[in-house]
Amino acid sequence: MIYLDHAAATPVDARVLRAMEPYFGEKFYNPSAAYLPAKEVAADYEAAKGTIAHAIGAKGADIVITAGATEANNLALSAVSLDGSCRPFSSPTSQGSVGDPLHGRHPSMLYLVTEHDSVRRVAERYGGQGIEVLPNGMINMEDLRGKLSDEVELVSVSLANNELGVIQPLAEIAALIREVRLDRMRRGVRRQLLLHSDASQALNLLDVNVARLGVDLMTMNAAKVYGPKGVGALYVAHGVRLKPVSVGGGQENGLRAGTENVPGVIGFARALELAHEHLNGNRKKYAEWRRILLSELEGYELINRKHCLDNFVVLCYNGIDAERLVFLLEERGVYVATGAACAASKGVRSHVLAAIGLSDSQIAGSLRLTLGETNDEAQIHEAARVINDVVKAEWDRLSGIKASHSWFF
């Protein structure tokens, strides 16, 4: 079995699970209870939040624990305070396209058109407008600059895209935002302007530091960094006001009530520690594996050429149905994806690949390989061999069909 879909899910590292285990058992107490063992659990929980914060150069008090990246993205975008913020979500049955809900009004937030649906669909609610990307998947800075009207309160740009792995120039975006803020101040425009980034895919591949990136809000996800599913976090810079996800017992500074998921947060902290420890080694390793794949694979077009995470390889076999390749490869024990898992399961065309200008036929022929800790170098060579085999067989089958058709008709 060769798993090449680490962007969709990662197994929990054995060391992470070991760190979590006591909190399912003997340290199961409610962190809000008054007796000492519960207070010790509360202290461990706060320490874990401190560790999560430390991994991104922040303080524990700046971290709101969530149930994952989607909830963190939803919470981050609640910073938009315009009347639009109160527009109810569209009904769950109308999971249609993300249109332009502005009707001539100015947008209150901007988001990269290649963002995950948990940003795009929330942005819709807040009257958001998309920022274009260049054919290489990088943000079109001129488009951002042009759309940064005085009504914009928030800009959301992921640190690394979940389908392409393309790394966005956050520091450059932050510099532009600082410039606009200063200009607004000079002109007496008092509206806030915040920068949010979904860093879910990047946390174990880039050295992420909120101050260096210049973000006010940043989304994290344990499940993408060999931590448990169902746990994420939002970094919230001091002074940024958000609307609570849920109200009740007042946990997480009143922003997200509910008994704390102690084992989950302990696991998330340990996963980030491990990611940090192995950051440079892993990057080198993945870069080498990527190089091996690109040299041993045949007949592909490389979609993500540069400025991308070292473990992302997005290939296009124009003319082949990549969904068929996923099934054929699965039969040979190689697990790959055509794009984001949640989109794939609904059979919708990738909005990311469309945004970088791929044709329908290119999109239909695109495979995403994401390398990770379940792999070793032998697997990479083997994967290249199997993919070449399967692709060749598929070309043969297709040309056979073509030949028999041309003979028959």
Nearer to a second copy, 2 or 316 (CB): 2
Q: Give the nearest distance from C-beta 170 to a second copy in angstroms.
A: 21
Around Cβ 163, how many Cβ atoms within 10 Å? Answer: 28
SS (H, E, C) the chain: CEECECCCCCCCCHHHHHHHHHHHCCCCCCCCCCCHHHHHHHHHHHHHHHHHHHCCCCCHHHEEEECCHHHHHHHHHCCCCCHHHHCCCCCCCCCCCCCCCCCCCCCCEEEECCCCHHHHHHHHHCCEEEECECCCCCECHHHHHHHCCCCCCEEECCCECCCCCEECCHHHHHHHHHHHHHHHHHCCCCCCCEEEEECCCCCCCCCCCHHHHCCCEEEEEHHHCCCCCCCEEEEECCCCCCCCCECCCCCHHHCECCCCCHHHHHHHHHHHHHHHHCHHHHHHHHHHHHHHHHHHCCCCEECCCCCECCCEEEEECCCCCHHHHHHHHHHCCEECECCCHHHHCCCCCCHHHHHCCCCHHHHHCEEEEECCCCCCHHHHHHHHHHHHHHHHHHHHHHHHHHHHHHHHC
Nearer to a second copy, 115 or 216 (CB): 115
Nearer to a second copy, 32 or 140 (CB): 32
d(CA 114, CA 265): 29
Q: Give the nearest distance from C-beta 89 to a second copy in angstroms.
A: 5
Nearer to a second copy, 141 or 257 (CB): 257
Nearer to a second copy, 17 or 141 (CB): 17
Residue 208: HSE in the Cβ half-sphere, 13 Å Cα cutoff? 33
Q: Give the nearest distance from C-beta 387 to a second copy in angstroms.
A: 14
First CA to last CA across the chain, in angstroms? 42
d(CA 312, CA 366): 13
Q: Is 342 a catalytic residue?
A: yes
Nearer to a second copy, 218 or 262 (CB): 262
Identity of the residue numbered 320: I
Nearer to a second copy, 68 or 137 (CB): 68
Q: Of these residues, 86, 308, 316, 342, which one is catalytic? A: 342
Nearer to a second copy, 116 or 290 (CB): 116
Q: Give the nearest distance from C-beta 148 to a second copy in angstroms.
A: 25
Q: Which residue has the tokens 């970094």?
A: 235
Token pair listed for 62: 């700046």
Q: Give the nearest distance from C-beta 379 to a second copy in angstroms.
A: 16
Q: Give the nearest distance from C-beta 352 to a second copy in angstroms.
A: 14
Q: Give the nearest distance from C-beta 291 to a second copy in angstroms.
A: 25
Q: Give the nearest distance from C-beta 176 to a second copy in angstroms.
A: 27
Active site residues: 342
